[in-house]
Amino acid sequence: MPLVQISMREGRTTEQKRQLVRLVTEAMVEAAGARRERVTVVIHELPAENWATGGLLLADEPLQC
């Protein structure tokens, strides 16, 4: 059973996450030969103040999708 875990900054809409899950599932089916009903996708949303890149908190920058 493939398990795909996605960590991203919180702030996306439910519709954006719905599309992300659909596309990731499709990619696993096409690229890895996984059975659609066996693909599990987990989204971990993190507050911007709990994530940093290049020594800067994401909270100090606007959301860039």
Residues acting as catalytic residues? 2
C-alpha to C-alpha distance for 52 and 33, rounded to whole angstroms: 35
Structure tokens at 26: 């499709």
Residue whose entry in the numeric block shows the structure tokens 């709990």? 50
C-alpha to C-alpha distance for 47 and 51, rounded to whole angstroms: 7
